[in-house]
């Protein structure tokens, strides 16, 4: 019985990521060197046209109006895995939660926790875009620096959105024990992929359905959180407009062909095998042409995204002299676009890698500081990139 209880404590809570286009759930077990993915499940959400979330309507969250079917969809998603327990950690993302960098006076930093929280609350409420509804606020302090710079990040979310999220979990037969943000969950996820020196600024870019979210970190602390550009849905629409095809056909082309890799041929090993015949040559030529057309359709979006990421790195490095830019981790469904890491890497001049590539590093002992502290099998119900937020939610703070 004692051994059984010890085993149960090794299980983490269930990380529940309720996104615009899908639901993802992950549960981990702790190991000596990190975490092992115990269960993972994904389920698509049917497209629901409607108003975007503004924080003014409690029926709005996760980017769209909450459907009465959503609790059942959550139940069905968890039913695809052998999850243990009912405790879940859910997350809010912009625009349902706002992040604001703060420059707090030294007296506030020395104040009692309750007094400091009240001062931060007043400041965050003043900066919130929606000032007509009660909000819940939290904050965390940023690493010290030798130059004038923000020293805290404050977050705020409407009470209605928070209450509706907790109720939604209850309607699905779950208990929401933690309500987090996608930014802090992504930070914990990125931190277990690789340990980095304390003088390095690293980032994680989550390319979701409605937006690309960027989080820059020092060690395990998020120091900048912002929306970096449009998401995968906008990309697909731009491809549909450029190729004059349906949205569905554009999505298929985006997934199958990706973008052209500029500066060299874009053949894959499979293409080279097919290229030995005239039919194979024609097939590769069509693929290359489509990838070039898709790149043309997305070039403005991708350039804007790269520029925003670059400006963000430059700003953070100006706030923390002596630090250097490290890797940018890609996650989210949009990160699976073929040659997307190469495009950003060329534009930024830093290592840009999909999250799953950290699992493939060989030659490092399990106890090495650079080794990945997450064990995940590729066939576990979805790509690692799509499960990133849910995994971060499952990792205890």
How many C-beta neighbours within 10 Å does residue 100 have? 19
- Which residues lie closer than 8 Å to 6 by C-beta, 6 or more apart? none
Amino acid 31: pLDDT: 87
Handedness of CA 159, 138, 20, 241 (dihedral sign): positive
Q: What is the mean pLDDT of residues 354-368?
A: 71
Higher pLDDT, 109 or 327: 327
pLDDT in tens, 168-182: 999 999 999 999 999
Amino acid 344: pLDDT: 97
Highest-confidence segment of 113-117, 273-277, 278-282, 348-352: 348-352
For residue 53, give the nearest of 16, 18, 17, 20 by alpha carbon: 20
Amino acid 59: pLDDT: 43
Q: What is the DSSP string of 133-191?
A: S-EEEEEEEPPP-SSS---EEEEEEEHHHHHHHHHHHHHTT-EEEEEEEHHHHHHHHHH
Amino acid 371: pLDDT: 82
Alpha-carbon gap, residue 195 to 201, rounded angstroms = 12
Residue 325 within any structural domain of the chain: yes
β-pairing verdict for 324-331 and 352-354 = parallel
Higher pLDDT, 33 or 365: 33
Residue 297 within any structural domain of the chain: yes
Amino acid 264: pLDDT: 46
Handedness of CA 86, 91, 356, 153 (dihedral sign): negative
For residue 261, give the nearest of 285, 291, 234, 221 by alpha carbon: 291
What angle in degrees, to the nearest 10, is found between the helix axes of 232-243 and 247-257? 110
Question: Dihedral, CA atoms, 181, 186, 188, 189, nearest 10 degrees?
Answer: 140
Residue 322 within any structural domain of the chain: yes
- Entry pTM: 0.87
pLDDT in tens, 54-104: 333 444 444 444 678 899 999 999 999 899 999 999 999 998 999 999 999
Question: How remote is the C-alpha of 1 from its chain's centroid?
Answer: 39
- Which residues lie closer than 8 Å to 380 by C-beta, 6 or more apart? 37, 40
Amino acid 64: pLDDT: 44
**Given a cut of 60, is residue 4 above it in pLDDT?**
no
For residue 151, give the nearest of 58, 221, 241, 67 by alpha carbon: 221
For 394, the token pair is: 């499952």
Residue 14 within any structural domain of the chain: no
For 351, the token pair is: 């290592």
The enclosing domain of 200 has a CATH number of 3.30.420.40
pLDDT in tens, 281-337: 444 445 589 999 999 999 999 999 999 999 999 999 999 999 999 999 999 999 999
Total domains in the fold of the chain: 1
For 385, the token pair is: 């990139």
Model confidence at 260, pLDDT cuts 50, 70, 90, reads: very high
Q: What is the mean pLDDT of residues 222-242?
A: 96
Q: What is the mean pLDDT of residues 344-367?
A: 82
Amino acid 122: pLDDT: 94
Residue 210 within any structural domain of the chain: yes
| Percentage of residues of the chain with pLDDT beyond 70 | 83
Residue 226 within any structural domain of the chain: yes
Residue 59 within any structural domain of the chain: no
Residue 53 within any structural domain of the chain: no
Amino acid 69: pLDDT: 87
Alpha-carbon gap, residue 339 to 344, rounded angstroms = 9
Number of helices (H), then strands (E), in the chain: 12, 16
For 115, the token pair is: 């007094």
Question: Can you give the residue range of the structural domain that contains 353?
Answer: 195-261+290-371
Amino acid 9: pLDDT: 55
The whole-chain average pLDDT of the chain stands at: 86
**Given a cut of 50, is residue 134 above it in pLDDT?**
yes
**Given a cut of 90, is residue 184 above it in pLDDT?**
yes
* Cβ atoms of residues 120 and 152 within 8 Å: yes
Higher pLDDT, 280 or 79: 79
Amino acid 268: pLDDT: 37
Q: Give SS3 for 131.
A: coil
Amino acid 120: pLDDT: 94
Amino acid 361: pLDDT: 60
Q: What is the mean pLDDT of residues 196-221?
A: 95
**Given a cut of 90, is residue 366 above it in pLDDT?**
no
Amino acid 66: pLDDT: 66
């Amino acid at each position: 019985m004692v051994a059984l209880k010890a085993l149960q404590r090794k299980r983490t809570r269930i990380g529940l990521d309720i996104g615009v286009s899908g639901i993802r759930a992950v549960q981990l077990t702790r190991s000596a060197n990190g975490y092992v993915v115990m269960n993972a499940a994904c389920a698509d959400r049917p497209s629901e046209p409607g108003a975007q979330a503004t924080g003014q309507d409690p029926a709005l969250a996760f980017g769209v109006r909450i459907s009465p079917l959503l609790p059942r969809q959550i139940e069905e998603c968890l039913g695809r895995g052998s999850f243990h327990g009912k405790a879940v950690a859910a997350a809010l993302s912009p625009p349902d939660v706002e992040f604001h960098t703060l420059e707090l006076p030294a007296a506030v930093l020395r104040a009692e926790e309750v007094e400091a929280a009240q001062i931060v609350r007043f400041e965050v409420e003043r900066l919130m875009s929606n000032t007509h509804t009660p909000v819940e606020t939290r904050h965390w302090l940023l690493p010290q620096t030798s130059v004038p710079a923000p020293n805290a990040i404050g977050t705020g979310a409407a009470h209605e959105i928070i209450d509706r999220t907790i109720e939604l979990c209850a309607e699905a037969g779950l208990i929401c024990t933690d309500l987090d943000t996608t930014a802090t969950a992504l930070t914990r996820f990125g931190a277990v992929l690789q340990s980095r020196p304390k003088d390095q600024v690293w980032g994680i870019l989550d390319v979701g359905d409605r937006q690309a979210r960027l989080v820059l970190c020092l060690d395990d602390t998020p120091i900048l959180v912002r929306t970096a550009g449009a998401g995968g849905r906008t990309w697909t629409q731009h491809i549909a407009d450029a190729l004059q095809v349906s949205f569905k056909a554009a999505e298929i082309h985006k997934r199958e062909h990706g973008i052209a890799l500029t500066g060299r041929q874009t053949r894959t090993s499979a293409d080279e095998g097919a290229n030995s015949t005239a039919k194979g040559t024609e097939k590769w030529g069509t693929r290359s042409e489509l990838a070039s057309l898709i790149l043309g359709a997305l070039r403005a979006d991708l350039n804007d995204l790269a520029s925003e990421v670059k400006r963000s790195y430059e700003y953070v490095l100006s706030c923390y002299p002596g630090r250097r830019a490290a890797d940018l981790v890609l996650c989210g469904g949009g990160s699976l676009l073929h040659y997307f890491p190469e495009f950003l890497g060329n534009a930024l001049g830093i290592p840009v890698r999909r999250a799953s590539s950290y699992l493939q590093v060989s030659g490092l002992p399990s106890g090495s500081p650079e080794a990945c502290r997450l064990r995940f099998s590729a066939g576990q119900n979805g790509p690692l990139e799509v499960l990133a937020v849910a995994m971060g939610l499952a990792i205890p703070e």
